[in-house]
Amino acid sequence: HPEVDRSAQATYDLTDREAEEEALAGTVRGTHFAVSVPDSDAQAREKRGFLGRFQQGFERAFDGFRDRYSAVLERAVARRGFTVSVMLTLALVSCGLFFFLGHEFFPEIKSGSLQMHMRAPLGTRIEVTSRIVSLVAKDIKRLLPGDQVEGIISNCGLPVGVHNLAFIPTPSVGTMDCDISISLKDKESKVWELREILRKGLAERYPGTRFTFQPSTLTAQILNFGSPAPIDVQVNGPNARANYQFARKLADKLRDVPGARDVVIQQPMRMPTLLVKGNRTFERSLSLSHENFGHNQLIANAGSLQFDIHYWLDHETGMSYPINVFIPQFEMTEANDLKTLPIGRGHSGGVTSSPDLLGNVATISPVGTPGLINHADLMPVFDIYVSAEGRDLGSVLADVEEIANEMESELPRGAELVIRGQAENMQQAQFELLIGLIGAMVLVYLLIVVNFQSWLDPFIIITAFFGAFAGIAWILFATYTNISVPALTGAIMAMGTATANSILVVAYARERLELHGDALRAAIEAGTARFRPVLMTASAMIIGMVPMALGNSPNAPLGRAVIGGLALATVFTLLFVPCVYAIIYSRRSAPAEQAEGNA
């Protein structure tokens, strides 16, 4: 304006944005002004083509949207007490939805493979197990609807070599066990539904054969740390047989837990075994010893390669070959065949010219023996594996812990009951993330205190957290998503972005309050002026998280938590935070105005 003092122009230099905001306010230092655009600039915009017209249309629509928001904000600030009370109540009630959400470490995703374990009746020979698993493979293709099976690979018996036992996580303990890998044509199949179909169908067709499922994805296998199930209840104590009886009783009760599946005891104690008990009277009369019994039976059934090694040298090639001597398996098909084993009197267990038969000097009886022995802290341990299906892992774990606590009084003397596995790590990880979330909120508040040199403004800024928590609760509840490590990580990210947006509003309101001293006007101007950057930041974050939230990945809860938390936190930033600012600073400025009036 030509009448504006030049020194005032020098001391109050306005940018284009500030000029626009002051035009909305009305005056600058008491002088009215208007901002006009030359006709040449308007004509230049007209020549931009489709993009120019789109930009103009978008700007008009956005300005209209901002004007409507400004009108809503004015009404909210006018009734700021009612607005704050209603929004705060809704946020706190919404946070109650967290109590209806389940807990899990990482969510299970759709997959194109299934990993199943089959255990035939104890003592089943490997060839019989092979025939059973062939029938099972045909029934799997028949039970799964829509011709979904692409291929089935079965691996029966114990792995060859100790290295395979170390590097292949398998619950196999004998010839009756089979690991079955099922590949599906649809790589994003709902594997949890297919597992239920197979559990029911195979159990009805093969009584006495137990089918359990292990994690098929790499993420689940890593989280289980090689265990075939996420919950591992361990019974550890000096008395193995008493511990096994207690483990069986505990497993029966755990099978009644809703959502508990594939409850099995890893270590069988009733493997069919033939006990050869020598008659010491006959042994002395025939000059035999228990060493003769052991060596002869070991050579006859397992071979001599372990303790009586002999080699044959091929002089033509210079190669030596180990010689293993044993009775062919097809000649040892019945228990009575053991009675015809010759027992020699040699020191090395070899057969003499006049051997005695095993049936003459010993009795053979069937007994049950441990099929697998594991130790923890030098004492035998029994693992009860429990998987969760159709219910979140945290709820199943809570019921398992309750039953375990009830049965602690029945533990054998000196035994200990411990729950390990993925569930234990889940609780620890979620607790640490929750502590990290609270610590992040406190640290952010203290950093803002240092930056603003005030304890009050940072408190107003973090009130946007109420909206973030409510939004996270609603979106997790609406999408049937459990609380998990990715969801808590997304909550931390949403808190950070919500804090940044709230800082924009409060910092600008603080500047306007210092300029004209009207807290209500400053709150309205801050919301209107920072409407665009707040929406830009929130929209960019939300749009970027949409593919993750809709995708088939373990990090989908992270995207959902960010979208829900940031969406509602933005509403609180643009409505709730200005109202809180207006309430606090209008009360602080009222006494000062009264004091000036009295003066």
SS3 sequence of 413-446: CCCEEEEECHHHHHHHHHHHHHHHHHHHHHHHHH
The CB density around residue 43, as the number of other CB atoms within 10 Å, is 9
| Half-sphere CA count of 405, side-chain side, radius 13 A | 6
Q: Which residues pair with 504 in a beta bridge?
A: none
Residues of the chain below pLDDT 70: 1-48, 160-169, 344-355, 588-599
Provide the pLDDT for residue 42: 54
pTM, two decimals, is 0.77
Find the length of the chain. Answer: 599
Q: Which two tokens stand for residue 62?
A: 């956005």
Provide the pLDDT for residue 428: 84
Sorted by sequence, the CB contacts under 8 Å of residue 581 that are 6+ apart come out as 460, 505, 506, 509, 519, 522, 523, 526
Distances in Å between the alpha carbon of 340 and those of 297, 331, 336?
11, 11, 7
- DSSP characters over 45-67: HHTT-HHHHHHHHHHHHHHHHHH
**Calpha distance 515→492 (Å, rounded):** 35
Distances in Å between the alpha carbon of 316 and those of 132, 313, 319, 323?
47, 9, 8, 18
Provide the pLDDT for residue 422: 84
Are 517 and 504 in contact by the 8 Å Cβ rule? The answer is no
Provide the pLDDT for residue 346: 54
DSSP tag of 111? B
Q: Which residue, 259, 262, 261, 187, is CA-closest to 217?
A: 187
**Residue burial 192-211, b: 16+ Cβ < 10 Å; e: rest:** eebbeebbebbeeebeebbb
